[in-house]
Structure 1
Amino acid sequence: MSQEKVDRYKEEKANRKKIMKREKIKKAIGSVVGTILCVVIVGWIGYSGYNFYQSQKAENPTSTEIDLSAVNDYLGSLSETGDAE
């Protein structure tokens, strides 16, 4: 090996702890940023989907009509028979 390579190896060996610590910090920061980015994307998709659902619900309201005349007639007939007794 040339003297230049030997000097570079010695310098790397002397600073190995600093280099490893720096790499761990970079990896941790990358993981945190990636996780935050994923949470933001999933939240944005959920929020957009919810707003789309609400807008569709507001544009097409559903109403149901119920004919309760048969129930009213039945209850009326019950009260009439109760008065006769």
Structure 2
Amino acid sequence: MSQEKVDKYKKEKADRKKNIKKQKLQNVARKCVVGVIGIALIGWIGYSAYDTYQSNRPVDEVQIDYTAMDELPQELAAAQEADAAAAE
């Protein structure tokens, strides 16, 4: 082996633990990023499916009778007139 190769091998051997630690850290970071993206994708798909399900459901219609509210002022005026007539 040439002296260059020997020096290169010694340097790689000296840095081997640091390089392995760095690779493990990068693998963990990569797995975390993929996990977060996967969870976000699953959540988005679930939300889209739920929204589609809700939009396809029939909407219940409710009929409200407002005649009592429309007649209330007239009834109050009539009651006030009756009270005024009874007070006289």
TM-score interval (norm. to shorter): 0.5 to 0.7
Q: Tell me, which stretches of 5 or more residues in structure 1 are unaligned?
A: 1-10
Q: Percent identity?
A: 18
52-61 or 62-71: which moved more? Answer: 62-71
Give RMSD over aligned pairs. Answer: 2.7
Structure 1 pair 34/67, CA: closer, same or farther in 2 (3 Å)? same
Post-superposition Cα deviations, 1:13-64, rounded to whole Å, max 9, x if no partner, equal x823x00111111011101110011101100110001100110111114233
Over alpha carbons, which structure has the higher Rg?
Answer: 2
Which residue does the alignment assign to 1:20?
A: 17
Query: What TM-score results when the alignment is normalised by the length of structure 2?
Result: 0.63
**Segments of 4+ moved more than 2 angstroms:** 61-64, 66-82
The answer to whether residue 36 in structure 2 is matched with residue 39 in structure 1 is yes
